[in-house]
Amino acid sequence: MKTYPKLKFIIDKKRELETFLNFYNWSKYQETNRDLNWAIYRPHPKLRKIKNEKLSKQKILIQKHIDSFYKQNLPEIKNGVSKTKRQWRNTEKQFFILVDEIFKNRPWPNGKYIAYSTIWGMFPRYLNDKTFLFPYSHKKKNYILIVITHEMLHFMFYDYVYKKFPKLKNHKYDFVLWNISEIFNTIIQNSPQWVRIFKQKTMGYPEHRKCIPKFKKYWRESKNIDIWIKKSFDYLKTLGH
């Protein structure tokens, strides 16, 4: 009998500073500080005043902010995580059925499968151990569930691609594969079948909006993950990704 991951939901204040540092380091490789702004400064505008400080001082001030935030909001964080856990338990079976249909009943890859709540505004996933972050609260109803399905879908997608198309493990394809994975999630999660179950669409990235119709057409014509990946990869390569 096929087994499925049992997702654990954990509150871990220690991860918040680590997450900030990850965004800080990733921002060095971006032409703009978009991710740092989306993740840190937009949801916590008071922190904008420290962004020009040296990193050593930022770390101290960020930790103070984290400590203060948790002290003031811990009951709300706990309630949000409990609510999210219930939502996931009520829909996980349907999610796994949908994923089985797409990925030909493929076994799920091994991993920790831990969802860590966060106070930040972006939610990275870590393919190596199958962990990710999710918001303890969100203004859009059901959107936290969309974040969870989004990251879980990534875990299966990448595992499938690396096994089926091993050449894409080469780091030179990291960026094109990231684009493909995000476009794939947008198409799948915004399809009527998924929206009917999860009651919300994923937002996707602004830079993908113009090309989404083309990739939707690829999916509509084949409904085959292998064909879709090949066509999508070939097309993005022509664009220089």
pLDDT in tens, 135-189: 999 988 899 999 999 999 999 999 999 999 999 999 999 999 999 999 999 999 9
Report the chain's mean pLDDT, rounded to a whole number.
Answer: 93
Predicted confidence (pLDDT) per residue in 192-208, tens digit: 999 999 999 998 888 89
Asked if residue 239 has pLDDT above 70, the reply is no
In the predicted model, what is the mean pLDDT of residues 208-234? 94
User: Looking at beta carbons, which pairs linking 36-40 to residues 24 or more positions away fall under 8 Å?
Assistant: 38/121, 38/122, 39/120, 39/121, 39/122, 40/120, 40/121
What are the CA-CA distances from residue 110 to residues 114, 126, 129, 147, 159 (Å)? 12, 13, 8, 20, 10
Residue 8 CA, distance from chain mean position? 16
If you count DSSP H runs as helices and E runs as strands, how many of each does the chain have, helices first?
8, 4
Quote the CA–CA distance of 221 and 215 in Å, as a whole number. Answer: 10
Q: Residue 206: what pLDDT?
A: 85
Planar angle of CA 214, 175, 208, nearest 5 degrees: 30
pLDDT band at 236 (very low <50, low <70, confident <90, very high): confident
Average pLDDT over residues 22-26: 83
194 to each of 12, 112, 114, 150, how far by Cα in Å?
Answer: 30, 25, 23, 11
